[in-house]
Amino acid sequence: MANEGKTYLTFHRAFTAASTATFTDKEGVVRPLIRVSIPSGTVLGGRDIGGASFLARYAYQSRYNENDVAFSFLPEQAVALSIPERDEEGNVTGYESLKVAAEALKVAVDAERRAWREAHPAPAKEKPTIEQESVDMLDELDAMERMDADGGIGGAFGEGASERDPLEV
């Protein structure tokens, strides 16, 4: 898919959910809108907009991470955020509507994601260790095969390697 000047916002699927609001697509099918929550700590214009949300018609699974959901916006398209207003006790008392440029929101979300990853580094993956016994066993089998080929073991007892029963020791 070509970029064509579009802005792509990507969120982990945990920040997306089907909304109760619906729309009718081009084929006449009624579909739910997708509600996207902005992660806490996202700062836009000096203001923390974490907990805000927006509605989108279509979402696409990210081609880079199966757990991410991507949303595309045209350059002239604004994102309508719904920001919860809270009282002193933290209860939601209403919602403020704010339209922001998709590119500005992308920059803010990407900065929050980088900050979160720096604060929560991924654990180092342990490399599997190769046990020495398995290597020694292979060396012993290899040496026995060479001795059989040279007539070492079988030749000492008067029978060739092809005449011995492989199950007898």
Q: Look at 126 and 29; give whichever has higher pLDDT.
A: 29
Determine the Cα angle at 103 with ends 101 and 106, to 5°. 115
Q: What is the pLDDT of residue 155?
A: 47
pTM of the model: 0.65
Mean pLDDT, residues 27-31 taken together: 91
pLDDT for 108-163, tens place per residue? 999 999 998 899 888 877 777 666 555 566 667 677 777 766 665 544 445 555 56
Check pLDDT > 60 for residue 88.
Answer: yes
Q: How far, CA to CA in Å, does 21 sit from each of 34, 92, 167?
A: 9, 20, 73
Q: What is the pLDDT of residue 80?
A: 94
Q: What is the pLDDT of residue 126?
A: 78
Q: Whose CA is closest to 40, among 52, 28, 32, 30?
A: 52
164 band by pLDDT with thresholds 50, 70 and 90: low
AA identity, residue 141: L
Residue 21, φ and ψ in degrees, nearest 5: -75, 145
Q: What is the pLDDT of residue 163?
A: 61
66: β partners: none
Q: What is the pLDDT of residue 157?
A: 47
